[in-house]
Structures are given as structure tokens and as C-alpha cells.
């Protein structure tokens, strides 16, 4: 059976989230996260598209994306990809790096010791005898010491086009009308928006709506109400796009 994924939210380290994906055949489109993704490659080659390169991480390695780094993940359409991702808040790694921001220039980490430790934690994260927070902090500290770059920088701030779209997120998007507001034709607007964000306007809007959806899902709100409030037609429409970007359905995310 393909596309068996489970999502877990653990109340440690400012909100640890975990994705266990088995035989995943559905491509993840270009998107971003506000946290670090540390992914264990468990079978098949794990591919990542960045704006300027195409990466292939073999089994037994770690694949890392930085916060706000635009990336896509094409999956093996026949056999599927199995992987386990730790979503780590930036401030956690910053605290392990003497208060300096952390950036991983190398996206594929070949380190048997670190992989083995992360793999152990991916299997035993629910075991009460395992001190998950302590052991995870230890392995994250080693990861930062060995492979991270310390930078004095701030992650990219929301810019002109993003700000406008975010303020009108629930409105029906018209490329032509939005471009006219900036005195541009739609083709130039598309080029400039993608240069600013790395994403198309449609993908940017979907991502923002899904992030809003994640917050509402954790309440007692009905999924149909959440779908309507976040600009989707119905639960099926929301579920389709939610799974494309997160790997799980809204119901699975809510149960995590």
C-alpha cells in the first residue's frame, strides 16, 4: 500500500513536529517552511528541487532544508519514497549555536553516527523510557557543530507583493487585476513575484491558506467551517491541497 503517512505533534522544543512517510508517491510542489526540515532517507533516492539546483540524497543520509527555503520534492511515482522528517524551530538551533542564526549550506549530510541517532529517535519517540527532548538536543547540537554555518542575518522578510497578497488572502485571486494594481502586465508581475518569493502567486496563496488552516484545525472548529474560512470550496478541496503540501490530510494532522 502506498502513501501511508502519519503526523505527530510533540509539545517540546517550541513545538516539535514529525512526519513518517511510507511509500509516498505524490510530489510535493514548490513550497517553504518556517522551520528546519531534517529528513532521514529510508528508501529510494530522495530528490529535492531548489531554485538553482537538483539534489539527490541516497538511503542512509540526511536531507536538510532551511527555513523559508523554496523547494519541491518529486517522489518516485511507482515505488514511492519512505522518509522521516523532524521539523525543528529555528530558535532551537540558534540556542545551540551561541545565539547565532544557523544555516546549512550543504543540504545532504553523510554522517552515519547522526543518521543512526536520528533513526533511533524516529522509532522510539513515543517510548516513555526515552528522554526524547534531551537526546534530540544532543544530536542537534552535534549536527550544528559539524555542518552548520553561523551567520549574522535575518531570514527574508515579507516584501511588497507578498504583503499585498497576504492582506487579501481570502479574496478571489486575479492575476490580471493584481498586476494592474502595480502598474504591470501579468507576465512581468509573475516574473517579479517569483523572483521575490521563489513561488508562483497561486502556490504562495495556497501555502498561506494552509498555514492558517493548521492553526484552526488545532481548535474544535468543524473541518467544513475551516475549509470555508481559509478560502477552499469544501473539505475535499481543502484535503487535496493540504495533503499535497504536508503529506497528510487535515483529519490526520488534527489527530496528531
Tell me the per-residue pLDDT of 46-73, one tens digit each, with 9 for 90 and over: 999 998 899 999 999 999 999 989 999 9
Residue 38 and residue 104 in one domain:
yes
Q: Which of 89, 123, 151 is where one domain is finished? A: 151
Torsion of CA 37, 41, 43, 47, to 10 degrees: 60
Judge if 205 and 225 occupy the same domain. yes
Q: Give per-residue pLDDT as tens, 89-99.
A: 999 999 999 99
Q: Is 70 in the same domain as 100?
A: yes
Q: Is the pLDDT of residue 174 over 70?
A: yes
The CA radius of gyration of the chain, in Å to the nearest whole number, is: 19
pLDDT at residue 39 greater than cutoff 70: yes
For residue 94, the model assigns a pLDDT of 95
Q: Are residues 133 and 24 in the same domain?
A: yes
* Domain termination residue (choose one: 134, 151, 168): 151
Do 223 and 124 belong to one domain?
Answer: no
- Let me know whether 135 and 183 are in one domain: no
Within this chain, do residues 96 and 132 fall inside the same structural domain, yes or no? yes
- 147 and 164 in a single domain? The answer is no
Q: Would you state the pLDDT for residue 153?
A: 47
Please return the burial class of 154, using the count of CB atoms within 10 Å of its CB with bins 0-12, 13-18 and 19+.
exposed
Do 147 and 108 share a structural domain? yes
- The model carries a pTM of 0.84
- Count of domains for the chain: 2
What is the model's pLDDT at position 157?
44
With 50 as the cut, is the pLDDT of residue 184 above it? yes
Per cent of the chain over pLDDT 70 is: 97
83 and 119 part of one domain: yes
pLDDT of residue 165: 83
pLDDT band at 210 (very low <50, low <70, confident <90, very high): very high
* Structural domain containing residue 204: 160-255
Same domain, 175 and 201: yes
CATH of the domain at 129: 2.60.120.10
Same domain, yes or no: 133 and 30: yes
Judge whether 69 and 95 are in contact, CB under 8 Å: no
Angle (deg, nearest 10), helices 132-147 and 112-124: 160
**pLDDT tens digits, residue range 107-145?**
999 999 999 999 999 999 999 999 999 999 999 999 999
Which CATH number do you get for residue 231?
A: 1.10.10.60
The pLDDT value given to residue 158: 43
Mean pLDDT of the chain: 92
Say whether pLDDT at 182 is over 90. Answer: no
Q: What local confidence, expressed as pLDDT, does residue 240 receive?
A: 94
Amino acid at each position: 500500500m502506498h502513501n501511508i503517512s502519519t503526523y505527530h505533534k510533540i509539545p517540546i522544543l517550541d513545538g516539535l513536529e514529525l512526519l513518517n512517510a511510507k511509500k509516498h508517491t505524490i510530489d510535493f510542489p514548490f513550497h517553504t517552511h518556517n522551520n528546519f526540515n531534517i529528513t532521514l532517507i529510508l528508501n529510494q533516492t530522495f530528490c529535492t528541487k531548489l531554485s538553482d539546483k537538483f539534489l539527490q540524497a541516497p538511503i542512509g543520509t540526511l536531507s536538510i532544508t532551511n527555513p523559508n527555503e523554496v523547494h519541491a520534492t518529486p517522489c518516485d511515482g511507482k515505488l514511492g519514497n519512505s522518509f522521516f522528517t523532524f521539523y525543528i524551530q529555528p530558535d532551537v538551533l540558534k540556542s545551540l549555536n551561541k545565539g547565532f542564526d544557523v544555516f546549512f549550506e550543504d543540504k545532504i549530510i553523510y554522517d552515519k553516527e547522526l543518521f543512526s541517532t536520528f533513526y533511533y529517535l524516529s522509532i522510539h519517540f513515543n517510548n516513555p523510557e526515552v528522554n526524547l527532548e534531551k537526546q534530540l538536543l544532543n544530536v542537534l547540537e552535534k549536527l550544528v557543530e559539524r555542518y552548520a554555518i553561523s551567520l549574522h542575518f535575518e531570514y527574508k522578510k515579507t516584501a511588497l507583493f507578498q504583503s499585498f497578497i497576504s492582506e487579501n488572502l481570502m479574496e478571489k485571486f486575479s492575476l490580471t487585476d493584481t498586476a494592474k494594481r502595480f502598474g504591470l502586465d501579468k507576465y512581468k508581475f509573475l516574473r517579479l513575484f517569483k523572483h521575490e518569493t521563489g513561488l508562483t502567486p497561486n502556490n504562495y496563496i495556497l501555502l498561506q491558506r494552509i498555514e492558517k488552516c493548521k492553526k484552526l484545525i488545532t481548535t474544535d472548529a468543524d473541518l467544513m467551517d475551516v475549509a470555508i474560512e481559509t478560502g477552499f470550496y469544501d473539505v475535499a478541496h481543502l484535503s487535496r491541497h493540504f495533503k499535497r503540501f504536508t503529506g497528510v490530510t487535515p483529519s490526520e494532522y488534527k489527530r496528531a
